[in-house]
Structures are given as structure tokens and as C-alpha cells.
């Protein structure tokens, strides 16, 4: 099966390669093969595959990655709009694999 | 909830630990089916804490899971014939990935549990295996700093754990990838179908009642005749958004889920038109297309939350345009349909 790819040129993922120490943690935690490490530096290979889960940012020991992470979930965004909060899925009271 | 998965107790330096089975009982299978249909899903929990599989000792691996019983069940089943420890975090009954997104499956809870259950006494090594999808909430270097335990990210799917352990904690690129095959999409359909809850009764009932309206007043016969057709139309649109969209996801044109849903909603509309369910005059037909299209589009858009590849920024971009259009189309459709009662 071909890979699913969502909308192009929307994600907020940023990588500061000067801070990168080549530890490869981002390539381990990313579920969509966004990163690749070449010559001891990470590069963003497949930007549009990113789903902004935030695992890379959280696990980068050098703080070289930033992304506005959150749930890519329409119900969660509506939920946030109604409550006037950040988008947040209501997994504990409605959906299964949301987020 | 039954605790028939507990088979015994194991004595450790830090107290007794419950030993659990690696085989699903008929009870486990049955409750899994129910939970896939949203029955009792909000309280499908195991108690957080430490568990044992087989007869683990101070050299055995520690695997971390969530206290959503489905997550825990998949892990213990994957550890069949192994000796291992399972550390269950308190994620309020939510699965690993969702809980990691919320932060309940997170650094703080993991650090707390490692200390509270005295893992440094129970094992002599300093490794702890966390599911890869937990990385959204767990910061490996912080856990290391705070507990001395080195987080090893295991494979995405529990089924790959054995291969992962046998290869000396090496995950292949395949094991690190989140895919979304037909089988996994199909598993989500029951939950999607239950999304509408009482609206599934309320909205068709509303159409049923309004179906009786006509220029001469009200007719029960008309309500039966047109109300029945309305039911079919509404449920067809619901089914298109909640079930057909997940199944056909990769093959429906467009990237935006709302457009995928709109596409199927219109296809369904044409099928219904062919079978004369949309009424006889052009206004009523157009109204129905607006209604089925917007219902299907909205529900398909909601499936972004269950999908494994949509980003927050992307969904926000999509919704900015789609949500107002869905509301406008549905409203015009409803008003148009009521209007056609009187012509």
C-alpha cells in the first residue's frame, strides 16, 4: 500500500542543524520517517509526512527540534473551539484512537 | 472488571507482584469486541503498577504500558513464553499514543512509577523498554537524568516485541513505522458508527415529524412515506462518512478528508436519486444533495482524529474552510427541504 500523505506545506516542524549532535533519537521516535541522519547531522527528509506528534522535540537532548505539537483531530479542534481552549481530543470520554 | 488474567503472585524484594497470563481468555476476547463498539470503553482499565510475566528476575526486561486494558492485553500477549516485568502507568484508561499526546503517558508519571515500585531494587540493569508511540509524552534523556534508567524505545506494534528483543533491541525501519492498513481502519468503524449517539435518533425523528407537513396541514400518511425515505437518506450519508470513508480512504480522490467525505456523500446521493429516494422535484433533490454531502463530509473530517498521519496544522487549515461550508450547506439543505414540503 502507498503511504498516506496529508496536506502539503503546513507543518510547523523546525530543525536547527547547528545544535544537532547526530544522536539519531529523532529517527528512532518518529513514526513517519521524517528524519534521516547524514554525516552526523539530522536532516528533514520528508517534511510533509510529519503529523506534529512532537515525539522528536521531546526526545532531542540538544533541543534542536521544535514543532507545535497537538492532535490532528477535527473533533478535538471543535472541542477546543467550544470550550475556548487549545485543541484537545476528549479521548477519556468519547473516541478511541483519536490523537 | 474481572481479574482472571492474574494467575499468581511473585515475591520480590519490593513486595508481591501479580503474575499475569499471556493468553487471552474468552472473557478478554469478548470484552475486546465490546470495547471496539464503545461499550464500557471509558472504564476499560487495569490497575496501574508492576506485573510479572512468566518468572522474571533481576535480569529480566521491563516493558512499559498504559492502563487501558486493550493496551495491556496486547502487551502481555506479545510477551508469551518470556520472563519479563510490565510497568503499567496510570493513563486514566487511555491507550499509549493518545495518552502520550495528552501527557498522562509521560515523563512525570514514568519517573514516579519507576521510583514508587522500586525498580532499582527489583532489577540489576538500568534499562526500561517504552513503546515507541509513548515518545510523544516521554523524554528519554529526562528519565535517564531523574532515575538512572535508560529508555529504550521498542517497536510501534506489540507483535514485533519478540523479534525486537531477539535481535538485541534492534528495531527494523518497518517496526518504527506507523501504517494504517485496511484491517486497522476497519477496526475503528464500530467506534466511528457510535459517534452520533442520540443524534442518530433525534435527527431522523425530526425529519420524520416534518415529513408529514404539507400545504393542507399535516398528514400522518405522508410522514410514514417520506419519513421512511428520509431515514434511508440520512443513514446512508452517515454510513458514507463513518464507514465507507475509513475503508476506502486511500482510494478516494483528494487529500482533505472533508472533500473525501463530500465525494462519497455525493456518490451516495446519486445512488439514492437513482432509486427515487430523493423526491420528485428539483428543489428537494438539491436539498438532499446538500444534506447528504455535508453530513458525510463532516463525519469524514472527524475521522482525521482516528487516522495516524494528520497534523494539527493540516486539520486546522482544512477545517477553516470546510466547517463553515458544511454548516451552511446543511442549513440551506434543511431549509430547502422543509420549503419543498409546501410545493
Q: The domain that contains B81 carries what CATH number?
A: 3.40.50.11600
Task: Write down the pLDDT at residue A12.
Answer: 97
Residues of B in Cβ contact (< 8 Å) with A28: 132, 135, 153, 171, 176
List the single residue in A32, A50, A92 with the smallest CB-CB distance to B92: A92
Query: Contact B314/A72, CB-based, under 8 Å?
Result: yes
Please state which CATH class domain A1-68 belongs to.
alpha beta
Task: Answer whether residue B173 shows pLDDT above 80.
Answer: yes
What integer pLDDT is reported at residue A98 of this predicted model?
Answer: 41
Element (H, E) at B86: strand B84-89
Which domain-ending residue is among B176, B194, B217?
B176
d(C-alpha B300, C-alpha B264), whole Å: 9
Nearest to A73 among B305, B317, B323 (CB): B305
Is B98–A91 a contact, with Cβ atoms under 8 angstroms apart?
yes
For cell 512532537, what's the residue?
Answer: A54
For residue A96, pLDDT beyond 50 = no
Structure confidence at residue B279 as a pLDDT band (50, 70, 90): confident
DSSP for B277-325 reads -S-SSHHHHHHHHHHHHHHHHHHHHHGGGTSSS--HHHHHHHHHHHHHH
Cβ contacts (< 8 Å) between A33 and chain B: which residues? Answer: 173, 176-177
Cα separation, B205 vs B234, in Å, equals 11
**pLDDT tens digits, A46-83:** 999 999 999 999 999 999 999 999 888 888 888 888 88
Cα–Cα distance for residue pair B60/B98, rounded to 1 Å: 28
Which of A8, A35, A91 is the best substitution to test chain B (most B C-beta atoms within 10 A)?
A91
Chain B CB contacts of A46 below 8 Å: none
Identify the H or E element spanning B166: helix B161-166
Q: Say how far apart CA A93 and CA B329 lie, in whole Å.
A: 29
Q: Which residues of A touch B138 (CB under 8 A)?
A: 58-59
Domain presence at residue B311? yes
Asked if B74 and B208 sit in the same domain, the reply is no
3-state secondary structure of A26: helix
Give chain A positions within 8 Å (CB) of B101.
53-54, 69-71, 89, 99
Phi, psi of B3 (to 5 degrees): -120, 35
Q: Among B99, B313, B323, which would you mutate to test the A interface (most chain A Cβ atoms within 10 Å of its Cβ)?
A: B313
Give me the interface pTM, i.e. the ipTM: 0.89
Q: Are residues B114 and B48 in the same domain?
A: yes
Task: Let me know if residue B294 belongs to a domain.
Answer: yes
- Whether the per-residue pLDDT at A2 is higher than 90: the answer is no
pLDDT score of B69 more than 90: yes
Same domain, residue pair B217 and B123: no
Closest CA to B277 of B290, B288, B264: B288
**Residue B290 confidence (pLDDT) above 70:** yes
Asked whether the predicted pLDDT for residue B294 surpasses 60, the reply is yes
Domain that holds residue B243: 182-342
Cα separations in angstroms, B73 against A55, A83, B264, B299:
24, 34, 36, 30
B264 within some domain: yes
Domain boundaries, given as residue ranges, for chain A:
1-68, 71-99
- Residue B315 to residue A96, Cβ atoms within 8 A: no
Question: Which residues on B lie below 8 Å from A55 (Cβ)?
Answer: 100, 132-133, 135-136
Q: CA of A91 to nearest chain B CA: how many angstroms apart?
A: 7
How confident is the model at residue B104, as a pLDDT? 94
B94 in the same domain as B27 = yes
Residue B320 has pLDDT above 90, yes or no: yes
Residue B136 and residue B42 share a domain: yes
The Cα–Cα gap between B301 and B262 comes to: 10
User: Where a domain ends, among B156, B176, B196?
Assistant: B176
Are B186 and B147 members of one domain?
Answer: no
Using the beta-carbon criterion (under 8 Å), do A96 and B257 form an inter-chain contact?
no
Q: Does A91 touch chain B (CB under 8 A)?
A: yes
The reply to whether B206 and B128 lie within a common domain is no
> In terms of domains, do B167 and B242 share one?
no
Same domain, residue pair B12 and B155: yes
CA distance B216 to B204: 23
Name the residue in chain A with its Cα closest to that of B43: A92
Give the pLDDT score at A93.
41
Give chain B's domain count: 2
Q: How far is B76 from chain A (nearest CA, A)?
A: 20
pLDDT at A81 (0 to 100): 85
Domain boundary among the residues B176, B206, B221 is at B176
Is residue B50 located within the same domain as residue B187?
no
DSSP label at B244?
I
pLDDT tens digit string along B140-172? 999 999 999 999 999 999 999 999 999 999 999
Chain A nearest-CA distance from B302, in A, is: 5
What DSSP string describes B30-83?
A: HHHHHHHTTTTGGG-B---EEEEESS--TTSEEEEEESBHHHHHHHHHHTTT--
* Residues in a beta bridge with B127: B150
Residue B39: CA atoms inside 13 Å, Cβ hemisphere, count?
Answer: 6
Q: Which of B173-182, B218-227, B238-247, B304-313 has the lowest mean pLDDT?
A: B218-227
Q: How high does pLDDT run on average in chain A?
A: 87
Look at residue B38 in the predicted model and tell me its pLDDT: 87
Q: What is the pLDDT of residue B199?
A: 86
Q: Are residues B19 and B124 in the same domain?
A: yes
pLDDT of residue A87: 81
Do B163 and B222 fall within a single domain? no
Looking at the complex, report in whole angstroms how far the Cα of residue A75 sits from the nearest Cα belonging to chain B: 6
Contact B255 A58 (CB under 8 A): no
Amino acid at each position: 500500500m502507498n503511504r498516506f500523505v496529508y496536506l502539503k506545506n503546513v507543518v510547523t516542524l523546525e530543525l536547527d542543524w547547528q545544535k544537532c549532535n547526530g544522536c539519531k533519537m529523532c529517527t528512532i521516535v518518529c513514526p513517519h520517517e521524517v528524519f534521516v541522519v547524514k554525516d552526523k547531522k539530522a536532516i528533514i527528509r520528508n517534511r510533509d509526512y510529519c503529523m506534529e506528534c512532537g515525539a522528536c522535540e521531546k526526545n532531542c537532548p540538544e533541543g534542536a527540534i521544535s514543532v507545535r505539537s497537538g492532535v490532528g483531530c477535527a473533533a478535538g479542534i471543535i472541542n477546543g473551539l467550544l470550550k475556548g481552549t487549545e485543541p484537545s481530543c476528549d479521548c477519556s470520554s468519547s473516541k478511541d484512537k483519536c490523537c | 472488571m474481572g481479574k482472571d488474567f492474574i494467575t499468581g503472585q511473585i515475591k520480590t524484594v519490593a513486595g508481591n507482584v501479580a503474575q499475569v497470563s499471556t493468553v487471552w481468555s474468552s472473557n478478554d476476547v469478548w470484552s475486546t469486541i465490546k470495547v471496539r463498539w464503545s461499550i464500557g470503553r471509558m472504564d476499560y482499565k487495569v490497575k496501574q503498577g508492576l506485573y510479572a510475566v512468566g518468572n522474571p528476575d533481576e535480569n529480566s526486561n521491563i516493558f512499559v504500558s498504559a492502563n487501558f486494558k486493550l493496551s495491556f492485553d496486547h502487551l502481555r500477549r506479545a510477551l508469551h513464553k518470556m520472563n519479563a516485568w510490565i510497568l503499567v502507568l496510570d493513563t486514566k484508561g487511555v491507550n499509549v499514543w493518545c495518552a502520550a499526546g495528552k501527557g498522562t503517558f509521560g515523563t512525570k508519571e514514568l519517573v514516579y512509577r519507576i521510583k514508587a515500585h522500586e525498580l532499582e531494587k527489583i532489577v540489576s540493569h538500568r534499562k526500561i523498554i517504552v513503546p515507541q508511540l509513548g515518545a510523544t509524552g516521554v523524554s528519554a534523556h529526562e528519565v535517564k537524568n531523574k532515575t538512572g534508567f535508560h529508555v529504550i524505545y521498542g517497536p510501534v506494534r506489540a507483535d514485533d516485541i519478540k523479534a525486537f528483543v531477539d535481535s538485541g533491541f534492534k528495531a527494523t525501519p518497518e517496526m518504527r513505522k506507523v501504517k494504517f492498513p485496511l484491517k486497522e481502519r476497519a477496526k475503528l468503524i464500530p467506534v466511528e458508527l457510535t459517534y452520533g449517539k442520540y443524534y442518530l435518533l433525534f435527527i431522523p425523528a425530526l425529519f420524520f415529524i416534518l415529513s408529514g407537513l404539507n400545504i393542507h396541514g399535516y398528514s400522518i400518511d405522508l410522514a410514514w412515506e417520506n419519513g421512511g425515505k428520509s431515514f434511508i437518506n440520512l443513514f446512508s450519508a452517515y454510513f458514507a462518512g463513518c464507514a465507507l470513508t475509513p475503508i476506502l480512504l486511500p482510494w478516494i480522490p483528494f487529500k482533505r478528508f472533508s472533500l473525501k467525505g463530500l465525494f462519497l456523500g455525493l456518490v451516495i446521493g446519486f445512488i439514492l436519486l437513482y432509486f427515487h429516494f430523493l423526491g420528485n422535484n428539483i428543489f428537494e433533490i438539491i436539498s438532499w444533495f446538500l444534506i447528504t454531502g455535508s453530513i458525510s463530509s463532516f463525519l469524514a473530517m472527524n475521522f482525521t482524529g482516528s487516522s495516524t498521519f494528520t497534523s494539527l496544522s493540516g486539520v486546522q487549515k482544512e477545517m477553516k474552510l470546510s466547517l463553515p461550508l458544511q454548516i451552511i450547506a446543511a442549513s440551506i439543505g434543511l431549509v430547502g427541504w422543509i420549503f419543498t414540503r409546501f410545493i
